Amino acid sequence: MMQKVIDRKFCVAPMMGYTTSYARTLYRILSKRTFLFSEMIATKTLIHSKEIGSKIANEFQNPIALQVGGSEYKDLRLSSRLAYELNYDEINLNVGCPSKAVQKGSFGACLMKDKLLVKNCLDAMQINRNIEVSIKCRIGLGKDFNYEFFEEFIDEILKSGIRLVYVHARNAILNGISPKGNRNIPPLNYDFVSKIKSKYQNTTFILNGGIDSMNKALKLSKLHDGIMVGRLIQSNPFCLKNVDRQFYNQKNNYIISEKTIKDYFNFIRPKFGKDSVYRLLSPLLNIFFGVPNSKEFKIEIHARMQENNFEILEKIFLNFIKEKKILIN
């Protein structure tokens, strides 16, 4: 089989609790080309949990990566096999999460201390040519910038043969600040990403961190191989409607219409009763983001969510679109 060529010019970052399979479906309705990520799944959970099915389901969400956290070769290899069987395009190793729980499990950002282990993990994950292996890492550890440390880390991990690196372009501070603090407090340094790219021209480096507007995203995408956006999409997934035009030379923006709501409800309808109404609907709630006078819709939706009546909820969303279509698009 020919290897697929995928352009990762615009990626939605993995976000636990947010990039659920429901959210990913909404993202895919709005943009056919955006590269998507699952939430991070610990390899042990992936392999042993019976309830994992709905989390990792990949129903027409390609191009997409499954992100895993772990550092045991056997588990990582099995995870790659699962990702391949579930039709993911890529499996990504999380070497960026600073949380205490993750450190305890020996994965995430603390792995940056052991570049040889990371290289071996990436070796183990490469099971065949149809599932690309990648890493998401930081630029360093602790308070101070240290380009040499970053360069030596990349030198080592690229020996595995992988050619795809997502860089959250700030250090991780493993003690004393929370994961949330670790997304804001350590300063950004995009230069490290440009510099390493000039050393490894044939490796794709995707820039992540602090890209908080579509304008910034567009500008940075011209300077880097691609960009990855997290919190901007978390707060307003609907800006994905312009991505295919702005980043992939498609002629038109996606237009949000009644069909958007219907497509989304058609996807979640078979899941009614199997998952909470909040989880099923929360990706759609951001449609109110920045739309004037949407308060009454919001109040009604939240009140109706208690009743679990999806037909009524769909109608309220449809009415909202009818009334605000022009403002939203």
Ligand X SMILES: Cc1cc2nc3c(=O)[nH]c(=O)nc-3n(C[C@H](O)[C@H](O)[C@H](O)COP(=O)(O)O)c2cc1C
Least distance (Å) from ligand X to the CB of residue 214?
Answer: 12
Residue placing its CB nearer to ligand X in the complex, 216 or 271: 216
Catalytic residue among 97, 121, 137, 239: 97
Q: How far is the CB of 108 from ligand X (least distance, A)?
A: 8
Q: CA 42, CA 193: separation in Å to the nearest integer?
A: 27
CA 35 – CA 27 distance, rounded (Å): 10
Would you say 63 or 186 has its CB closer to ligand X?
186
Measured from the CB of residue 19, what is the shortest distance to ligand X in angstroms? 8
Question: 225 near 205, Cβ under 8 Å?
Answer: yes
Q: Which residues face 27 on adjacent strands?
A: none
- Residue nearer to ligand X on the CB measure, 183 or 241: 183
Relative to beta strand 226-229, strand 10-12 is: parallel
CB of 208 to ligand X, least distance (A): 5
Give, in order, the Cα–Cα distances in Å from 144 to each of 173, 195, 220. Answer: 10, 17, 24
Query: From the CB of 52, what's the least distance to ligand X, in Å?
Result: 15
CA angle, 102 then 12 then 265, to 5°: 105
Which stretches of the chain bind ligand X, using CB under 6 A? Answer: 13-18, 39-40, 67, 94, 96-97, 136, 168, 183, 208-211, 229-232, 234
Q: Taking Cα atoms as reference points, which of 135, 102, 110 lies closest to residue 121?
A: 135
- Whichever of 231 and 271 has its CB closer to ligand X, that residue is 231
Is-cis flag, bond preceding 237, omega within 30?
Answer: no
Distance CA 10, CA 65 (A): 13
Using CB atoms, what's the residue nearest to ligand X? 230
121 is catalytic: no
Q: Which is nearer to ligand X, 12 or 301 (CB)?
A: 12
Give the whole-angstrom CA distance, residue 73 versus residue 78: 9
Active site positions, annotated: 97
